[in-house]
A and B are shown apart, each in its own frame.
Chain A
């Protein structure tokens, strides 16, 4: 499957994902209320480099991939 076939097959999914955030437009957290949201304990990947190294270990031992980051080079599959 080429990248273009893949994009065509899942176009509806991409469109839905792109439009869904608009539904959140009625929910806003004002800047002065964002102190806790900016705290390190509220970050999904508290330490992105640590998370990337752990993800590398896990992906080399599992048949799956995705959901975190798409950066990085290939293999080092030990």
Chain B
């Protein structure tokens, strides 16, 4: 679960420092997974899977290019047939730049009010889970710890799954809870929101001695019901309901929004509560002449900030060779604006002007649509009677590229259309089974 209102797409930030607790958690989880295997009796169905991958995200733009590398390693051990233990580590290595003050087309300061500044940050995540399986049921519990210079997150998640009707029906219920903390300026309690200034950097964050920084909690509860159904030997469907409740600082503490024609700006100000719901329906159908499958899905979403969205996703995956698969993905997304969204809060109604007591410079709350096109090659090799090069029971490698295009209908930076509307997501993965 990732709280979406981007509390960190920030401007003017240079962040660095250590994230030892998350690294320790990841190392601990990996060690736990390895120990689970070592202490298990031999010849009771042992298996170990090592998964390493890196995702590369690049969003080119004039003055606000963003690049993120996300390497990860997960170790999964199955010491007994009924038990699976997983531990892993992941990092987000970010470099780029972003806008600091959101202005609209009426701003007298014009685009000059928008200053881009460098962002450098590393987020470390340690995670682990335990899964217990018995007959047609499965229970899973897991958690993660992540640390950035200005954001900490602790999460717990649990799920229960059961198969019915000769495994044709599968039901799953899942719950997750996040205890997050975000760094903010230490505003006096009686400071009006219109006078609050944005955080300029992360120096002093999470340091007890700091008098200029405060720690603000964010709590997130998410739950999900999933019904998967096999209808025929070549057709399966899935129905998913997700609900999420968020509370706390749901805006970006670094972002400022221009509030008056004279150039006064204040820290972004969002409601402190948000309830979100989504329903998704998917289907997968195997096409024998193609030696592959087509998958289609739609998702509807709404929340208490009055955002409605719809997503349509199409995928086709087929075998090029018995060991090599090609997957093609297409996705279309469209959303409405939040109730309090305005591209410019300095003018008059109806098009520009204040929207109640909140203001936002977050493009995620503006109306927009996006397209995604992508492809992925996956190679899989299984050992026969002899292990691959004497070591592996199986190997899998993957390489993929997605391209994202955004079309903003009511978001500008000082009246100019944003230039960072195309993004590339590349991925490399390697999985070994011992």
Contact = CB atoms under 8 A, between A and B. Distances in A.
A25 B227 CA distance: 13
Nearest to B218: A74
A42 B241 CA distance: 21
A12 interface: no
B92 interface: yes
Contact of A62 (B123, B338, B370): B370
Interface string A1-30: 111001000100110011011001101111
Contacts, number: 278
B9 A60 contact: yes
Contacts of A77: 2-4, 6-9
A24 B229 contact: yes
Given A3-B245, A63-B338, A67-B242, A27 B429 contact: no
Q: Mostly helix, strand, loop or mixed at chain B's interface?
A: strand
A66 B224 contact: yes
Contacts of A62: 4, 309, 333, 335, 364, 370
A67 B5 CA distance: 17
Interface in A36-78: 36-37, 39-44, 46-47, 49-50, 53-78
Given A71-B157, A71-B176, A78 B325 contact: no
A53 to B, nearest CB: 5
Interface residues of A, number: 59
B429 A49 contact: yes
B20 to A, nearest CB: 16
Contact of B2 (A3, A24, A74): A74
B96 interface: yes
A69 B292 CA distance: 25
Contacts of A72: 1-2, 127, 144, 155, 157, 176
Interface string B174-216: 1110101010000000000000000000000000000000000
Contact of B275 (A6, A20, A34, A73): A6
Contacts of A65: 1-2, 4, 242, 244, 276, 278, 301
Contacts of B335: 62-64
A62 to B, nearest CB: 6
A18 B175 CA distance: 16
Given A1-B245, A76-B148, A29 B230 contact: yes
B7 A75 contact: yes
Given A6-B243, A21-B164, A74-B155, A1 B273 contact: yes
A73 B153 contact: yes
A28 B176 contact: no
A61 B421 CA distance: 11
Contacts of A58: 333, 372
A67 B220 CA distance: 16
A65 B174 CA distance: 15
A3 B221 contact: yes
A13 B53 CA distance: 39
A35 B167 CA distance: 13
A73 B178 contact: yes
Given A29-B231, A63-B4, A70-B176, A53 B166 contact: no
Those 4 A-B pairs whose CB atoms lie nearest each other, nearest first: A66-B278, A66-B242, A67-B280, A74-B153
22 contacts: A1-B245, A3-B221, A3-B245, A10-B243, A13-B241, A14-B241, A17-B227, A20-B227, A20-B239, A24-B229, A29-B231, A36-B234, A41-B317, A44-B238, A54-B55, A57-B55, A64-B309, A66-B301, A74-B151, A74-B178, A77-B4, A77-B6
Given A17-B227, A61-B364, A74-B178, 6 more contacts: A36-B286, A55-B2, A64-B307, A67-B242, A72-B127, A78-B57
